[in-house]
Amino acid sequence: MSKVKEELENDPLMPLRHTAEHVLHLAMQELYPSLKKAMGPPIEEGFYFDFDLDEKVSSDDFVKIEKRMQELIDADLPVTLVHSSVKEAKDIFKDNPFKLEWLQEIHNRGEEVTLYEMGEKDGKHYDLDLCAGPHARSTGEVKAFKLLSVAGAYWKGNEKNKMLTRIYGTAFDTKEKLEKYLKNLEEQKKRDHRKLGQELELFTFSEEVGPGLPLWTPKGNVIREELEKWAKDTEKKLGYMRVATPHIAKHTLFEISGHLPYYRDDMYNPMDIEGEEYFLKGMNCPHHHMIFKSKPKSYKDLPLRYAEYGMVYRFEQSGTLFGLMRVRAIQQNDAHIYCTLEQAEDEFLKVLELHEFYYNTLGLTKDDYYIAFGLPDTNKKEKYHGDKATWDKAEELMRKACKRSGIRSIDDVGGAAFYGPKTDFTIRSSTGREFAISTNQLDLFMPQRFNLEYTDKDGSKKLCVVIHRAPLGSHERFIGFLIEHFGGAFPVWLSPVQVQIIPISEKQIDYAIKLQNMFIERNLRAEVDDRSETIQAKIRDAQLQKIPYMLVVGDREVQNNEVSVRLRTGEDLKAKPLTEVLAKIEDIYLTKSLKLW
């Protein structure tokens, strides 16, 4: 994406990382003389290089490779630019098909060929590579580096091409910066939603149920239901009406929608019902369209907003499944808005504003998210249907709405849906990881295919516009994001257990249960830890579960009708009147406050 590229070019570490990348491939060349070098760039947090090699390389080999890299760095090899003609370069790289292919492209674009030399030609270490630069002056400028992972990658990112071996690494100008970076990686691992999901008992997977099919445990389901309730309440006020549709449909529905021709590979195989093919739905739109069509519509009915918490099923490739972030059964905060062309821009803007409302409530600001504006890749026309004029119209309307919203937007060529451009909200979590959370489209094509029409003032039939939107995306991915963003320490309203009541001894259990019931009456989620454990152990366990409030009750509290409040931040608020605590927590819950007190 353009923005990222700009940022990268301005990154002062870029030349150094680029040089580190060359150090890596020279070290590899020396260790595995038969390998062929493909290519590798500096990237946002480091660099990688793709090799074509016969041997298997695993992270166990990193020690050996890093040792050799360090030798090259210690040798402080000069890195110098060499100009060359295509012809000369083709001769130099005559044994390397990757470089030759690259050279041909440079030639076709009419660009200049630049090579970078590392070390002295007849010296102990020497490398000459096709490269646009820029570089550090010498390898000695790489003060700190580390290899991070090894992976497979297709040559030029095309799955029809050969699979190469990719090695990822990072480099810095000081050891301290590297250590800080590695520490941050460790922190991110601790926040990994898969790890926290297990520790906090939010969800699980079962080999018997199948990959990519998450099972929500009681605690995780609390979060789902809170989000769902929130969306239902919010969207009701905004004029959405709820509908409900089955999980399957006859093939004819998906033929009309175009999903079968364009999207068949991502749908599960059909089941035969009385000689007719039925498919599990991968999206809710066609079902909603049939509700729209069930009765003639007037311009007075528009905009019409159908919302559904629909479960959809997508046959994601096994290798792409990833915790809650990429699953095969997806619960969407879905809705389709049917409106006139004139209403479309305003309606789309309202959708964008709804996103802002949701994200702001969760403490995210405009700096934390942006819109990836998905445009068609003109080189892959077969991936899209419809005519250019309609695509352009949809893009224009969406762009206007995006502009009015004031939300940052970045073009993403190739990111369009098959039936139109789309806007994906991308959120940066508190650890700096980015997640594509919500997809929205202004669709001028489905109305044509389904003949979604209304009768206008003058009695003429007109096609409406459909807006697809899902601000909370799929609950799987959204909750995955929330887990990592909050590191499991959810705001009170989303916390599976909000209040842990901790009696000091058995004597206070009755009081604790009475207290628990008072919370439950207020729809708050409270548990009593009645184990015969020490208070220290009970505090520790509640703390590890990141429960916002620990209410300690001993004889003193029972006597005075109080509770001692400890927050999960470790703060001890001491004894407070029960009524005050109940009111305070209830208020924080109802207002969805991010504060604890």
Partner RNA sequence: GCCGGUGUAGCUCAAUGGUAGAGCAACCCCUUCGUAAGGGGUAGGUUAUCGGUUCAAGUCCGAUUACCGGCUCCA
Residues marked as catalytic: 285, 314, 332, 334, 336, 422, 468
Q: What part of residues 166-195 is at the interface with RNA (CB under 7 A)?
A: 166, 168, 192, 194
Q: Which stretch binds RNA (CB under 7 A): 28-36, 65-73, 153-161, 512-520?
A: 153-161
379 near RNA (CB under 7 A): no
Cα–Cα distance measured from residue 382 to residue 262, given in angstroms and rounded to the nearest whole number: 9
Q: Which is nearer to RNA, 517 or 534 (CB)?
A: 534
Q: Which is nearer to RNA, 139 or 495 (CB)?
A: 495
Helix intervals (H) in 381-455: 388-405, 446-450
Query: How many of the other CB atoms lie within 10 Å of CB of 60?
Result: 8
Indicate which single residue of 170, 439, 498, 545 sits in contact with RNA (rule: CB under 7 A): 439
Which backbone phi and psi does 95 adopt, to 5 degrees? -95, 5
512 near RNA (CB under 7 A): no
Cα–Cα distance measured from residue 373 to residue 467, given in angstroms and rounded to the nearest whole number: 15
386 near RNA (CB under 7 A): no
Give the containing element (helix H, strand E) for 30: helix 14-31
Q: What part of residues 24-83 is at the interface with RNA (CB under 7 A)?
A: 56, 58
Q: SS3 sequence, 26-87?
A: HHHHHHCCCCEECCCCEECCEEEEEEECCCCCCHHHHHHHHHHHHHHHHCCCEEEEEEECHH
- C-alpha closest to that of 469 among 488, 442, 446: 442
Cα–Cα distance measured from residue 531 to residue 376, given in angstroms and rounded to the nearest whole number: 60
505 near RNA (CB under 7 A): yes
Q: Which is nearer to RNA, 203 or 240 (CB)?
A: 203
Q: Is 197 exposed, middle or buried (0-12, 13-18, 19+ CB in 10 A)?
A: buried
- Nearest approach in angstroms of CB 262 to RNA is 8
Q: Are the C-beta atoms of 376 and 421 separated by less than 8 Å?
A: yes
Q: Which is nearer to RNA, 128 or 489 (CB)?
A: 489
4 near RNA (CB under 7 A): no
Indicate which single residue of 32, 126, 299, 322 sits in contact with RNA (rule: CB under 7 A): 322
Q: What part of residues 275-314 is at the interface with RNA (CB under 7 A)?
A: 282-283, 285, 312, 314
Residue given tokens 């590798």 in the structure block: 40
Q: Are the C-beta atoms of 399 and 373 separated by less than 8 Å?
A: yes
- Nearest approach in angstroms of CB 553 to RNA is 7
- Nearest approach in angstroms of CB 11 to RNA is 18
Q: Which is nearer to RNA, 80 or 534 (CB)?
A: 534
Q: Which is nearer to RNA, 227 or 267 (CB)?
A: 267
Inter-axis angle of helices 218-237 and 475-486, nearest 10 = 110
Q: Which stretch binds RNA (CB under 7 A): 17-25, 231-239, 241-249, 260-268?
A: 260-268
Tell whether residue 285 is among the known ligand binding residues: yes
Residue given tokens 């604790």 in the structure block: 512
417 near RNA (CB under 7 A): yes
Size of the site for RNA (CB under 7 A): 77
Residue given tokens 């479309």 in the structure block: 344
Question: Residue 359: how many CA atoms within 13 Å on its side-chain side?
Answer: 26
Tell whether residue 468 is among the known ligand binding residues: yes
Cβ-Cβ contacts under 8 Å for 455 (sequence gap 6 or more): 296, 297, 298, 299, 461, 462
Q: What part of residues 551-590 is at the interface with RNA (CB under 7 A)?
A: 552, 554-557, 564, 566, 570, 572, 574-575
Q: Which is nearer to RNA, 79 or 167 (CB)?
A: 167
Query: How many of the other CB atoms lie within 10 Å of CB of 251?
Result: 14
Q: Which stretch binds RNA (CB under 7 A): 72-80, 263-271, 301-309, 516-524?
A: 263-271
- C-alpha closest to that of 484 among 354, 396, 362: 362
317 near RNA (CB under 7 A): yes
Tell whether residue 125 is among the known ligand binding residues: no
Q: What part of residues 447-476 is at the interface with RNA (CB under 7 A)?
A: 468
539 near RNA (CB under 7 A): yes
Could you tell me how many helices (H) and strands (E) the chain has, helices first? Answer: 19, 29
Q: Which stretch binds RNA (CB under 7 A): 392-400, 459-467, 549-557, 581-589?
A: 549-557
331 near RNA (CB under 7 A): no
597 near RNA (CB under 7 A): no
The shares of helix, strand and coil residues in the chain, as percent rounded to the nearest 5, are 40, 25, 30
- Nearest approach in angstroms of CB 461 to RNA is 26
Q: Which is nearer to RNA, 190 or 507 (CB)?
A: 507
532 near RNA (CB under 7 A): yes
The single-letter DSSP state of residue 225 is H
Put residue 488 in one of left, alpha, beta given phi > 0 → left and psi -120 to 50 → alpha: left
Q: Are strands 422-428 and 434-443 parallel, antiparallel or unpaired?
A: antiparallel
- Nearest approach in angstroms of CB 158 to RNA is 6
165 near RNA (CB under 7 A): yes
Edge to edge, the sheet with strand 453-455 lists: 297-298, 453-455, 461-463
Annotated binding site for Zn(2+): 285, 336, 468
Annotated binding site: 285, 336, 468
